[in-house]
Amino acid sequence: MATTDQNKEVRNIVIVGKTGNGKSSTGNSILGLVSPRKNAPSLPNEGFRTGTGPSGVTRTSQMKQATTNGQIINVIDTPGLFDSDMMPDQVSEEIVKCMQMAKEGIHAFVGVVSTWNRFSEEEANAFREIVEDCKHRIVLFDNLTNDAETKKKQRMDLLSLVNQVVAKNNGQPYTNEYFERINQVEVILCDAEPLPIQARALRAPKIPAKVKDAVKKEAKDTLVDIKNEIRGQIIHEAVEGIKSTGCRCAIL
């Protein structure tokens, strides 16, 4: 189970959903933080920016942290990855960014759907399926409430569901082959301690700058490869989806 130096458990939660559904607001509710005021600079202990105007829409993934009941909660807020104007390039960029931030892996994905949404029959059925797949783990959030009890309850209900998911997964967060590759690249690029052997060698004075640069370039190339692989998968899935609807033309 992921812990920090202080032996606190870490929970990495990624928030997904369409723009305007309340992802950033829900992230703030989970963390117990407030959104920075409109057009004011954001302070370190403030939450994610929210709102519909240009300054409120989340353009790139961001992580904020809070500590609750001895657990470190990292919430990663994402732009609307399923928005119709998101290009595969941007989506793969954001997915890699999320994996870079959630170093230990992802303990839970939280999908945010606004209760104000009007669903078509097809969307409602898709939503029902997702809810069933998620074993009806739903928490209703009122992100605008000022009632301290409600705020606390909805936050605790969500964190308790996250802990249930973690327990069901034997304490292991979600990872895939990319997490390990990205973590290795990060270590080389950041030159951080503790270093794996090949990166430690970079620090040795006798290693020529040219060799160091070559290793760093290789690390950067690896990141580009990973983004391209993910982009390829996104396009493949989109094409399969389009084929299944019988549509003949699409811009990807």
Ligand X SMILES: Nc1nc2c(ncn2[C@@H]2O[C@H](COP(=O)(O)OP(=O)(O)O)[C@@H](O)[C@H]2O)c(=O)[nH]1
Q: Would you tell me which residues interact with Mg ion (CB under 5 A)?
A: 23-24, 58
Q: How far is the CB of 115 from ligand X (least distance, A)?
A: 8
Q: Which is nearer to Mg ion, 47 or 88 (CB)?
A: 47
Residue 74 binds which entry of ligand X, Mg ion, none, CB below 5-8 Å type-dependent: none
Q: How far is the CB of 25 from ligand X (least distance, A)?
A: 3
- What is the three-class DSSP state of 156? helix
Q: Which is nearer to ligand X, 24 or 61 (CB)?
A: 24
Q: How far is the CB of 158 from ligand X (least distance, A)?
A: 13
Q: How far is the CB of 115 from Mg ion (least distance, A)?
A: 17
Is the Cβ–Cβ distance between 159 and 71 less than 8 Å? Answer: yes
Q: Which is nearer to ligand X, 25 or 74 (CB)?
A: 25
Q: Which is nearer to ligand X, 123 or 142 (CB)?
A: 142
**What DSSP string runs through 32-89?**
T--PPPTTSPPPTT-----SSSTTTS--S-EEEEEEETTEEEEEEE---TT-TT--HH
Residue 142 binds which entry of ligand X, Mg ion, none, CB below 5-8 Å type-dependent: ligand X
Residue 189 binds which entry of ligand X, Mg ion, none, CB below 5-8 Å type-dependent: none
| CA-wise closest residue to 29 among 112, 131, 108, 102 | 112
Q: Which is nearer to Mg ion, 77 or 104 (CB)?
A: 77
Q: How far is the CB of 121 from Mg ion (least distance, A)?
A: 28
Question: Over 108-124, what HEC string results?
Answer: EEEECCCCCCCCCHHHH
Residue whose token pair is 């983004």:
227
Is the Cβ–Cβ distance between 30 and 23 less than 8 Å? Answer: no
Tokens found for residue 233: 């998968």
Residue 25 binds which entry of Mg ion, ligand X, none, CB below 5-8 Å type-dependent: ligand X
Note if the bond before 194 is cis, omega within 30 degrees.
Answer: yes
Residues that bind ligand X (CB under 6 A): 17, 19-25, 50-52, 56-58, 141-144
